[in-house]
Structure 1
Amino acid sequence: MNENNQVRFGVIGTNWITEAFIRAASEIPEFKLTAVYSRTKKKGKEFAEKYNQVQVFTEVSEMAKSSDVDAVYIASPNSFHSDQGCLVMEQGKHVICEKPMASNVREMKKLIESAQKNNVVLMEGIKSTHQPNFQIIIDHLHKVGTVRRYFSSYCQYSSRYDSYKEGVILNAFDPAFSNGSLMDIGIYGIYPAIVLFGEPNQVSATGVMLTSGVDGQGSLLLKYNELECVIMHSKIANSFIPSEIQGEKGSMIINNIHDPKDILIRFNDGTEEQIQVPQEQLAMYYEAAEFIRLIKTGESESSINSHKSSLITAKVMEEARKQVGVRFPADHQS
């Protein structure tokens, strides 16, 4: 940290999600952007010009060694997350990595082991579980009684699918980058279920395979002792229905599981209670604030986006991929 007690960040990736993270994190006084990595100097300089006094690196290893970097936000393609994360943590840097943090369980374990070995913070960048209304869900869940079903729907037609249908396979539909609907969209339904209910006893999954080798959409059923979680995801069709947590006393209706802003409990007797709170900051502000808090307090991991939650989610997604038939090059690496 610098003399102003700020956490100095390097970023890996120069896409829109990186800009969104920087914009949100810049609202936190303890955040300072000091470095950017890009594969090309030209693109890195173009990105850095938007910000003040930002160094440009074309080698992750060089940025990881920089004495001007305390933490790194990783927003590269999914298949690069594990190697880049471990490389950065080996130099004593803290890591917040875009979801999914790893291609598979093996990579997730490698990341967690590296974080523990190097005594740094590692957190998966799932924005929704740190937003104020996810805590509202946790705080009010008892009101619906014994939970019997969690249902989440996040189906968003991808603009990149138009290119795919024209024969251009972009990263979003390329198995080489550990992508597809489950990895990109499905995780938004899976991760909250794991945080709320823990590891399921059984995973059942179906999906629609695309000729590129990734899933275009799919459904999961997570079976627990007393409840089931039904998760729908798609990058080739839209859905406009809300998500829901059904209990014996009522149902909690959530407008968007990936960005919860409107939450209504409808009780069995017909009464209703609106329970959401205003979200005053940008969506990614809250995950950035939690990550910075962990660094400054010396805690090793988040209690919400914990290593355990990330590992269980990776297990669920790997099992789902096996059942659907999605294989990544990363799965065959030793």
Structure 2
Amino acid sequence: MIRFGVIGTNFITESMIEAGQHVEHFELKAVYSRTEERAKEFAGKYGAELTFTSVEEMCGSEEVDAIYVASPNSFHAGQAITAMEHGKHVLCEKPIASNQREAARMIDVARTNHVLLMEAVKSTLMPGFVSIREQLHKIGTVRRFTGNFCKYSSRYDAYRDGTVLNAFNPDFSNGSLMDLGVYGVYPLVVLFGEPKSIKANGVRLASGVDGKGSILAEYEGLEAVITHSKINHSYAPSEIQGEEGVIMIPNISEPGNIKICYNDGSVDRLEEQNTHPPMYYELAEFVNLVQKGEIQSTVNSHKNTLIATQILQEARRQMGIKYPADEN
């Protein structure tokens, strides 16, 4: 069994634990929270034996093999590094860090301590995305990638009423790009690698984060357009446009119900088998890699993480978004 400790007692952690019930060799062992009351409440709900109010103590426990980091973005690097320096494997929520400097440091620590570090991007490990990679050749030379994820945040209601919650607070390295834009950036990098250049625009809110924005990425013979927002909805699908057809992706964050529309009017529906909760596939990948003694995934790899982080950082620079974490 791979015994997990979790940092973060939110709905994302709950989704991970529920997915873990379907993963062989997964065991929830420990819960960290800032308060003992919350740690015990969460641990009791999911059957974890141990609770901690110190990250250092949980990472030092001999009864924990791996740490799942689902805290606010600005805490990812410090907590993951603490875990890895104690010899723990780390599955870290996306985006893995506030900036490329932090991400590079995390990867260096993983390699030094020979532990697994993987960014928890679920979409690129789901069956739908695997099918996209396998059948991309069917649409011929790819000319455009569009990644669209615009979802009005319920927390924006509070923001409009004058209350700045974590989702719109730069102290936590948050905002639309980091929360939703990454879902367009990461699959782009996995499919096509590092772009030659990017151009970014966005709406900067008074709190100091972006509420929405777009990225235009240039490749040789290919352009990519990524749109993201936490202050308005969009129901438009994402697409990969080739010279022979188009792959249509209704939901870029959880790719499924994907089809190829060819130039001659015919349509193929990709064979997918999402037989488990969406987070199952990233967790199963992580557990499998730990058992094999690997320090990175071939899909959510260290290289892809560094490229994606650099794109996010450069996009923020062009939008004028700066976090306190960038100054450290």
TMscore range, shorter length: over 0.9
TM-score by length of 2: 0.99
Match status 1:215 vs 2:233: no
Match status 1:274 vs 2:276: no
Match status 1:51 vs 2:65: no
Q: Give the equivalent residue in structure 1 for 2:73.
A: 78
- The structural deviation recorded for 1:51 is 2.4
- The structural deviation recorded for 1:92 is 0.3
TM-score by length of 1: 0.97
d(CA) in 2 for partners of 1:21, 1:272: 34
Match status 1:129 vs 2:143: no
Q: Give the equivalent residue in structure 2 for 1:164.
A: 159
d(CA) in 2 for partners of 1:285, 1:104: 27
For structure 2, list consecutive stretches of 5 or more residues without a partner in the other structure: none
Q: Give the equivalent residue in structure 1 for 2:290.
A: 295
CA contact (8 A) 1:132 1:277 kept: yes
- The structural deviation recorded for 1:54 is 2.0
Aligned ranges for residues 227-242 of structure 1 at < 5 Å? 227-242=222-237
d(CA) in 2 for partners of 1:55, 1:298: 25
Aligned ranges for residues 10-49 of structure 1 at < 5 Å? 10-49=5-44
Q: Secondary structure at the match of 1:49?
A: helix
CA contact (8 A) 2:31 2:48 kept: no
Match status 1:199 vs 2:194: yes
Write the deviation string for residues 68-113 of structure 1: whole angstroms up to 9, x where unpaired: 0000000000000000000000000000000001000000001000
Write the deviation string for residues 2-60 of structure 1: whole angstroms up to 9, x where unpaired: xxxx0000000101110110000121120001101001111111111112242110010
Write the deviation string for residues 102-135 of structure 1: whole angstroms up to 9, x where unpaired: 0000000010000000000000000100101100
Write the deviation string for residues 182-213 of structure 1: whole angstroms up to 9, x where unpaired: 00000000000000000000010000010000
Q: Give the equivalent residue in structure 1 for 2:279.
A: 284
Aligned ranges for residues 238-249 of structure 1 at < 5 Å? 238-249=233-244
Write the deviation string for residues 219-278 of structure 1: whole angstroms up to 9, x where unpaired: 000100110110000000000011100001111111111111111111111111111413
Match status 1:7 vs 2:2: yes
d(CA) in 2 for partners of 1:307, 1:251: 29
Cα 1:201–1:53 shift into 2, 3 Å: closer
Identity %: 54
Provide the aligned length of Structure 1 versus Structure 2: 328
Q: Kindly provide the amino acid, as one letter, of the partner of residue 331 in structure 1.
A: D
Match status 1:66 vs 2:57: no
Q: Kindly provide the amino acid, as one letter, of the partner of residue 95 in structure 1.
A: V
Misfit runs of 4+, over 4 Å:
none
Q: Kindly provide the amino acid, as one letter, of the partner of residue 165 in structure 1.
A: R
Q: Kindly provide the amino acid, as one letter, of the partner of residue 140 in structure 1.
A: Q
